[in-house]
Amino acid sequence: MSMVGDPIDRILIATASGAGMPLVTVDREIIAYAGRERSVWVCDVR
């Protein structure tokens, strides 16, 4: 599994995934991760 590099991003992803809630972001690395792993629902607001 390919993780994002930023520890805060990891916390955000884990929290959203665990809560079953969408993660609203403009962060390209998080959006790319969500596209690869499908473990978190991301709302891309770029």
pLDDT in tens, 1-26: 578 889 999 999 999 999 999 999 99
Q: What is the pTM of this model?
A: 0.85
Please report whether residue 1 resides in a domain. no
> Which residue range is the domain that position 13 belongs to?
7-44
| 12 token code pair | 């955000």
DSSP class of residue 2?
A: P
- The pLDDT assigned to 1 comes to 53
In the predicted model, what is the mean pLDDT of residues 13-40? 94
Task: Give the integer Cα–Cα distance in Å for 43 and 46.
Answer: 9
Question: What is the tally of structural domains in the chain?
Answer: 1
Please report whether residue 17 resides in a domain. yes
Please report whether residue 29 resides in a domain. yes
Please report whether residue 2 resides in a domain. no
